[in-house]
Amino acid sequence: MVFATVAVCIAALVFLAYLVFRPKGNSTLPVPEGHWLWGNIFQFSCPRSDLLATRWSKELGAIFRLRLVNKNYVILNDYNSIHTAMVKKSKDFAGRPMHHGNRARYLYEYETSIFVASPSPQWKALRKSVHSKVKMYEAGLNEVEAVNMSVIAGLIGDFRARNGEAFNPQDNIYNAVMNIICVFLVGKKYRIDSEIFQLFKKVEQTTLTVLGPGAKGAELDVMWFLRFFGHKTFKKLTELRQWRRQLWAMTKQDLNSRTENDGEYGKGVIGALLESYQGSDDKLIKEINIMLTFQDLIFAGTSTTANSTQAFLNLMINYPEVQRKLQAEVDDVIGDSRPVSLKDRAMMPYTRALIFELLRYTSIVAMGVPHMASVDSSLDGHVIEKGTPVITNLWALHHDEAFWKDPFVFRPERFLDSDMQLLTADHPYRKHLMPFGAGTRVCLGESLALGRLFLLFTSITQIFDIKVGTKKVDADARDYLSGVILQSPAYDVRLVSRNEHLFV
C-alpha cells in the first residue's frame, strides 16, 4: 500500500513537472529529438553548438526550433532566413531575449545597455548617444590611426624581442588589442601590469565565460533556482558585477582627474558619454546605463579583434602562398620606407579581400547575438510568436556548401572580381557575409574593427615573415575552441624580421 502511494505521488510530480515545463505555443517548426521533459537543453549546451545546429539544419531544414525545457528557441541557418529576420523584418526581430536570459538579466542588474536590451525609448536614446560618440571618434581618421599605430608599434617591438624564435603570440596580441580598446573608450593606454588594466582584462574575459551560446551555465537561464545551490557560474556572475563596479569607479576617477586636453587622445567615447550625461537635463539615460555599455564595448571589441589576429597568424603559417600575395601588395603599395596608413586601403584590394575571407572563414562569433521577436511575425510561412528568442547561426551561413565553393578552404580571391578588384557591396558574396550582424542592430563599431584589422595585418606582414614554430596546428576553423568567441588552438610562430628600420 505504501509503495503504491509513493508511486502515485511520483507519477503526479512527474505529470506536474510536464505541465510546468512543457513548451508554450504551437510552433509548426521542426525540432530535434530530445528528452520528453527538458527537451534539447543538454544537447545544445555542448562545445561548438554552431556545428551541432548546422548538422541539425541538414536534417530539419534551414529554420528549426529547439526546446530548452519549456521555452522554444528558433535557429536560423541560411541567408534567406537570416536576411529576412535581420534586414527585411528587422523591426520585428530587434528584441533581445532578456526574459529568457537570467544570466544576462542578473549581470546587467535588470537595466538597459545597448547590447542586451530590447528597443525602448531609453535604449533608443542610449544607442543614438553611443552612435554619435563613435562616429565623432571615427571621423577623426588621423586620430584613429594614431591610436592603433601607437599600440601596434609596441606589439611589433614585443615581437622583435623574440629574435625570430618560436613563441605563442596570444598574450602579446590580447594585451595590445585591449590597450587599443582602452584608448578608444577612455583615451588612455595603460601599463599591462597596472591594477586597472588587469581589471579590464578580468571583466572582459569573465564576461566571455558566462554569457551567450557556448558559455558555461546556460542551465541557469531556465533553472534560475540553481543559484541557491552554489552554482559556479552564478558565483562568477556575482564576482563579475563586483569587478565591473570596481573598474567603473577607477575609470571615472581617472577621467575626472584629467582635462579634455590631457594626453594624446582626450577622454575617449566613455568620457564623452559621461560629459553628455552630466550636462543634460534629460535623465532618460542613467549612469548605470553608461557603465553597462562600457562593459559591452570592452567585450565587443577586444576578444573579437584579438582572436581574429591570432587566427590570421596561423592562417599565414598554413597558407604561405596567401602570405606571399599579401606581402607583395604591401611591398608594392606601402614599400619599406614608412608605416601603413588607413588611406592605403583604397589601393589594396587583396588585403581587404583577405580580411573579408578571414571573417567568413573563422566566423568567430559563430551564433551571433541572440535576437527576439518583438511582435508576432513569420519566417518562411512559420509563425514566430512574440517573445520567441531567435539565434542566427552565422557559422552555417558562412560555410554553406551550396553557396560557397570549398567553404573550408581559405581563399581571399573569393572577394575579388576578374580584374582582381574588390567585389562591390551588392555582390552576392558580400551580401552573404554578415560577421557584424545586419539591420537595426548591426554592430556600431564595424568600420573601426575593419580598420584595426587592416592596420594590424598589414603592419605585421610589412615587418615580418610569418613562419611555423615548434608547435604547429591546423588552421581549420572547425577545430577552433568553443565559447561565445571561437578561438584558434594554441600554436607557436616564428616572426623573422624583414624590415629592421621600421618601428624603431
Average pLDDT over residues 472-483: 90
| Nearest of 126, 27, 119 to residue 71 by alpha carbon | 27
Give Rg (Cα) of the chain. Answer: 24
- Half-sphere exposure of 251 toward its Cβ, with a 13 Å CA cutoff? 28
Q: How confident is the model at residue 282 (pLDDT cuts 50, 70, 90)?
A: low
Please give the pLDDT value at position 300. Answer: 86
Buried b (16+ CB within 10 A) or exposed e, 253-287: ebbeeeeeeeeebbbbbbbbbbeebeeeeeebbee
* Distance in angstroms (rounded) separating the CA atoms of residues 490 and 92: 41
> Smallest Cα–Cα separation from 205: which of 295, 290, 99, 107?
295
Is residue 260 over pLDDT 70? no
Per-residue pLDDT tens for 436-458? 999 989 888 898 899 999 999 99
As given in the structure block, the three cell numbers for residue 173 are 596580441
Instruction: Give the DSSP H or E segment for 390.
Output: strand 389-392
What is the predicted pLDDT for the residue at 190? Answer: 93
Give the whole-angstrom CA distance, residue 154 versus residue 189. Answer: 11
Beta strand 371-372 pairing with 377-379: unpaired
Identify the band that residue 80 occupies on the pLDDT scale cut at 50, 70 and 90.
very high
Categorize the per-residue pLDDT at 1 as very low, low, confident or very high, splitting at 50, 70 and 90: low
pLDDT at 294 over 90: yes
**Average pLDDT for residues 187-196, to the nearest whole number?**
92
100 pLDDT band, cuts 50/70/90, is: low
| Cα dihedral 311, 313, 314, 316 in deg (nearest 10) | 120
Tens of pLDDT along 391-424? 999 999 999 999 999 999 999 999 999 999 999 9
Distance in Å from the first CA to the final CA of the chain: 88
Could you say which DSSP state residue 482 is in? Answer: P
In angstroms, the CA 435 to CA 86 distance is: 13
Q: Give the per-residue pLDDT at 280.
A: 66
Question: How long is the chain?
Answer: 504
pLDDT confidence tier of residue 319, bands split at 50, 70 and 90: very high
Query: Phi and psi at residue 501, in whole multiples of 5°?
Result: -85, -5
Residues 6+ apart with CB under 8 A from 140: none
Domains of the chain: 2-497 (1.10.630.10)
pLDDT at 257: 87
Number of other residues whose CB lies within 10 A of the CB of residue 489: 14
- What is the DSSP code (8-state) at residue 490? P
Contact call for residues 62 and 380 (beta carbons, < 8 A): yes
Positive or negative, the CA dihedral 145, 151, 156, 159 is negative
pTM of the model: 0.91
CA nearest to 342, candidates 134, 81, 141, 140:
141
Model pLDDT for residues 133-175, shown as the tens digit of each residue:
888 777 655 667 887 888 999 999 999 999 999 999 999 999 9
| 443 marked ligand binding residue | yes
Average pLDDT along the chain: 88
